[in-house]
Structure 1
Amino acid sequence: MSSVLNTSNGVPVHGLFIDGHAVAATRADLLDVINPATGVLLAQISHASDADVDRAVQSAATAFESAEWSTMSNRTRAKLVNKLADVFEANLEEIYHLETLNNGRSLNETRAQVSRLPDFLRYNAGLAIARRDSVIPVDGNYLNYTLRTPIGVVGNSTPFNHPLMIMMKSLAPTLASGCTTVVKPSEYTPLTTLRLAALFVEAGLPPGVFNVITGLGPTSGKALSEHRGLAKWVLTGGTEAGRITGALAGANFAHQTLELGGKTPVLVFDDFDVDQAVNYAAFGAFIGAGQTCICGSRQIVQEKVYDEFVEKLAAKAKSIRIGNPIDPMIQLGPVVSARQQQRVLNYIRIGLEEDGARLVAGGRIPADPALANGFFVEPTVFADVTADMRIFQEEVFGPFVSVTKFGTEAEGIALANNSPFGLAGAIRTNDITRAHRVAARLKCGIVWINDHHRLDPASPWGGVKDSGIGRECGTESFDQHFETKSVMVRLDDAPFDWYKDTAAQPRLN
């Protein structure tokens, strides 16, 4: 099974994936999918119209109500979700290469990340079996218990930076809870999402449970977010996109999980090994070409080790091997598009011309002519950055990191919290009491102590402030896919007549 409708000059043309098979969109225009490392056309995708989006949501709604899906027992559903994990694992080699070609992340990074994704399915399958409804002690001779029922159709808009990983954070609890979904991947990176949907239907997932529509955010994405058939809206993307689509979904009182922008502060204290701090900084800032919401883009370093840290981070950045990510020796691939490349280059200009920060590494397009057709930017490090600078406050979303000096612990915490974002933060220290003390004071949803970018299917993931609402992963995410119904049973056979003896019947009514 495939999402490919036909080929044009040897290039596959993908349809929408609705009700278990590829379908043509009602719009005639196609969108190009480009290999960001070479600029070569990889595929073309359909551009879903409002009518196409409605068709996909109706398919998901029909599947949600179908006897095959709605009456499936928790254990049978868990067994199916575990089977999907096995199918995913059996096709990893194909998916590694397709994901790398499509989003430009190095093959080694893709292997490390995507190989973990079947765990999301298995973890949520376990929750489906382990879940229990509550019996609640209440006043009087009553039995009060709860029933949880799946909420319905989940709309999910995923970004270009981690196409499968971010989708899987929502897809796994959606399927394990008994909901259905319509996913709109980024127009830049739709190929692995379309492939996985086809693989899952081949493996026995009922048609309509997992639908994929492709298109642009302002058209197809907007139509999905505002569709009245959605019970839940999930978006990972920029803060402005979250505001727009969140308002649209909110008009229909849809549940929401929004994982938005970030500007992660990393507090490096002078009791921590500088070489290790630099290694973590390079990993945190340049993994995925810096295109992560949790990019360690603000290194806030205590003054005693500041100069040494800057010198060593600059040298580390210059040593990173840049090139075509399909080569396993390459450590840094391109950003996803020419537009994203220009965004990063513009922030380099801002850092130099407007902010007056000190560029100590990178700041250019690589000189290698073999990379000229791709969307590459050198790993870039700015030093002597202050809190009033734009490159300290604004999300760049590229291989770009700033370094800021601090003195006391209180000053470091104030700098870390001086941001409209609050997704993640990190601490580098060997002082265990300081580590926990500072972690409690950082205004964010995720904190790493002496680590970075660590995620697990069981660990809640999400932010505060302009970084969004709700949580992915863990029981928190799984539980958000249910409505809770309270059932109150009177166990007393005594006659009831409110209007005959009101005073003797105290109650909260």
Structure 2
Amino acid sequence: MDLENLSEVLNYIGGERIPASSGKSLENYEPATGKILGSLPASDSKDVTLAVTAAKEAMNSWGNLSAEVRGFHLENLARGIEENLESLARAESIDNGKPISVSKSLDIPRAAANLRFFAGAARYQHEEAFRTRLPGDDLLNVTVSRPVGVAGCISPWNLPLYLFTWKIAPALAAGCTVVGKPSEVTPVTADLLARIAIDVGFPPGVLNIVHGTGPEAGSPIVGHEDIPAISFTGGTATGAAIGQQAAPTFKKTLLELGGKNPTIIFEDADIDSAVEGAFRAAYSNQGQICLCGSRILIHESIAEEITGRLQKRITEMVIGDPLVENTMMGALVSADHLSKVESCLQTARDEGGEILVGGERVSPEGRCKNGYFLTPALIRGLSHSATTNQEEIFGPVASVLTFKDEEEALQLANGVRYGLAASLWTQDVDRALRFSEKIEAGTVWVNCWMKRDLRTIFGGVKDSGVGREGGTDSLRFFQEPTNICVRFDTQS
């Protein structure tokens, strides 16, 4: 099995790696160098149909396997990932631009953990039963579940293998077969997963991977009449388009979308922990995580100290080659995305914001001199209604706002159209619980950020999504429940 050749990405359909049926391909760029890394299939509806056909043919045999046997196959995939951690981490950093230290410690281990977790969760999933005794009636209601069928799983570019496996693992564990589409911007590790699947003997047709753009490959997946469920993670605008396309056919949709998340620091917070937490929340993965805390809300009594210490942390960051172990911030994912983030910074200036530090292109010496690098930016002086404080940027850009009391902090925290996550920093337990219950967000962290237990729910409110993932919620999305009511004759 060759996991070192990253230049040729292929579709994975019916257990084989094949090019697009049209023979067309797209170029794939390495963010750190700006050079062409290789190619990927420019798939279209014909390729999606081939994948759906393979998935349908495998559906009966896969869906009828016991949870234990399906779990065995998922654990084989997880083991293949773990045994090739170094190669996968290197490939992820080359393809995405993130530091290899992050790929090694987060992305690739979590990809394996996703598969292992849902392999186990499916084994312990149980049916519900209710006994009802009425005069002259003795009823037993049992809710049973079956796989929904072929599942469409579409994942983003920011955490490529991490989120691709987060989508496909519960679908496969629930007994569905899958047609998956990773982002065309970062296709490499999904292709390496296909090579691992072949190597470990994963059943052909159960997992199918179609590469290509959203309009040409993603839209046919969403619209296909034989795909009754779509799980998508990505931008809010794309999620809205998917919802509109899926609605007339009444197919199930699970949408995890954008965020404009607040980091809220109260006057009684542990300053050291709060500064480090706000820093990580704002700039991890080059700020390219939907959970990033891009709005830093600070109590006015400590705002100067927190802001100054954040500036210092930013200037200490090592920005450069993602393949160097001590690099703290790598390249943004593409030239287009770099331009978008720079445009957002100009908007901040135009609206009266002061960029305290960062926001400038960087040209590291050596092979990365033409890469897509940007210093992390910290902005203050903008009103809460400014575009920078209302719209998701998805880059290393954070804005500082101050508040005088809990009421104002809550107004600021909830005063956006998004509601994915929030983190708050306080040593007052009563305040933490009181405030957390009022925040309009799917996840609230107290004195931490991005800590996850895969048994718990994950998802957003408002424009941050529809539905919940995690634990049994993920499994249930890919299943259809039926209630069976049996009446017993208690008179005989």
Query: Same fold by TM (over 0.5)?
Result: yes
Preserved CA contact (<8 Å) 2:314 2:376: yes
Specify the SS of the correspondent of 1:483: strand
Separation in 1 of the partners of 2:104 and 2:111?
Answer: 10
Q: Residues 164 and 456 of structure 1: is their aligned pair in 2 closer, same or farther, counting only changes over 3 Å?
A: farther
> Shift in Å at residue 3 of structure 1?
10
Match of 2:29 among 34, 37, 40: 34
Please name the residue that 2:186 is paired with: 189
Partner of 1:391: 388
Give the C-alpha shift of residue 484 in structure 1. 0.8
1:134 equivalent in structure 2: 128
Distance 1:395 1:257 in 2: 20
Report if aligned partners of 1:158, 1:166 keep a CA contact under 8 Å in 2. Answer: yes
Q: Write out per-residue CA displacement over residues 394-451 of structure 1, whole angstroms, 9 at most, x where no aligned residue.
A: 1111111000010011100110000000000010111111111111010000011111
Question: Which of 335, 339, 347 is equivalent to 1:338?
Answer: 335
Output the CA distance in 1 between the equivalents of 2:19 and 2:458.
Answer: 36
1:20 shift after superposition: 0.5
Aligned residue number for residue 359 of structure 2: 363
Aligned to 1:334, the other structure's residue is in SS state coil
Do residues 83 (structure 1) and 80 (structure 2) align?
no
Aligned AA for 1:129? R
Shift of 1:170: 1.6
Bigger Cα Rg:
1
Answer whether contact 1:457 1:474 (CA < 8 A) is retained: yes
- Please tell me whether the aligned partners of residues 99 and 110 of structure 1 are also in contact (alpha carbons under 8 angstroms): yes
User: Which residue of 155, 158, 162 corresponds with 1:158?
Assistant: 155
Please give the residue correspondences for 1:222-301 in structure 2 after superposition, counting only pairs within 5 Å: 222-301=219-298
Task: Output the amino acid matched with 1:361.
Answer: V
Q: Normalising to structure 2: TM-score of the pair?
A: 0.95
3-state secondary structure, aligned to 1:137: strand
- Residue from 7, 12, 18 that aligns with 1:17: 12
When normalised by structure 1's length, the TM-score is 0.92
Q: Secondary structure, in 3 states, of the residue corresponding to 2:249? A: coil
SS where residue 251 of structure 1 aligns?
A: helix
Distance 1:273 1:224 in 2: 48
* Letter of the structure 2 residue corresponding to residue 95 of structure 1: L
Counterpart secondary structure, 1:13: coil
Q: Which residue of 1 aligns with 2:302?
A: 305
Query: 2:417 maps to what in 1?
Result: 420
Q: 3-state DSSP class of the match of 1:324? A: coil
One of 451, 455, 458 as aligned partner of 1:461: 458
Deviations 1:105-163 (A, max 9, x none): 10111112121332222221222221221222234223321221011111111111000
CA distance in 1, matches of 2:269, 2:178: 46
What's the offset of the Cα at 1:491?
A: 2.2
Partner of 1:102: 95
Q: Confirm or deny: 8 A CA contact 1:232 1:254 kept in the other structure.
A: yes
Q: Please tell me the root mean square deviation across aligned C-alpha atoms, in Å.
A: 1.8
Q: Secondary structure at the match of 1:349?
A: helix
Q: Which runs of 5+ in 2 are unaligned?
A: none
**Alignment-derived partner of residue 59 in structure 1:** 54
Q: Is the 8 A contact 2:17 2:194 kept in 1?
A: no
Which runs of structure 2 are paired with 1:395-474 in the superposition (5 Å)? 395-474=392-471
Alignment partners' CA distance in 2, 1:493 and 1:62? 45
Letter of the 1:48 counterpart = S
Equivalent residue for 1:323?
320
User: C-alpha separation between the residues in 1 aligned to 2:365 and 2:349?
Assistant: 25
1:170 counterpart (167, 171, 189) = 167
SS of the residue 1:44 aligns to: strand
Residue among 116, 121, 138 paired with 2:115: 121
Number of equivalenced pairs: 487
* More off after superposition, 368-377 vs 466-475: 368-377
Q: Residue 83 of structure 1: CA displacement?
A: 2.4
Aligned partners of 2:32 and 2:193: how far apart in 1? 23
Report the Cα distance in structure 2 between the residues aligned to 1:472 and 1:201, rounded to whole angstroms.
Answer: 28
C-alpha separation in 2, matches of 1:459 and 1:105 = 27
Q: Is the 8 A contact 1:158 1:184 kept in 2?
A: yes
For residue 322 of structure 2, what is the amino acid of its counterpart?
P
Contact 2:154 2:167 (C-alpha < 8 Å) held by counterparts? no
- Following superposition, which runs of at least 4 residues in structure 1 exceed 6 angstroms of deviation? none
Corresponding residue for residue 74 of structure 1: 67
Q: Distance in 1 between matches of 2:326 and 2:365?
A: 18
What displacement does 1:489 show? 2.3
Q: Does the CA contact (< 8 Å) of 1:275 and 1:312 recur in 2?
A: no
Distance in 1 between residues matched to 2:413 and 2:440, nearest whole Å:
8
CA distance in 1, matches of 2:274, 2:63: 51
> What is the alpha-carbon distance in structure 2 between the residues aligned to residue 60 and residue 489 of structure 1?
34
**Partner Cα distance (2:311, 2:3) in 1:** 45
* Alignment partners' CA distance in 2, 1:314 and 1:438: 28
Q: In 2, are the aligned partners of 1:2 and 1:22 still within 8 Å (CA)?
A: no
Q: Distance in 2 between matches of 1:474 and 1:70?
A: 19
Residue of structure 2 equivalent to 1:506: none
Which region of structure 1 is more displaced relative to structure 2, 299-308 or 370-379? Answer: 370-379
The percentage of aligned residue pairs carrying the same residue is 34
Letter in 2 for 1:340: H
Give me the whole-angstrom Cα distance separating, in 1, the residues matched to 2:490 and 2:424.
62
AA matched with 1:480: F
Deviates more, 1:256-265 or 1:195-204: 195-204
Work out the CA distance in 2 between the residues paired with 1:330 and 1:44: 27
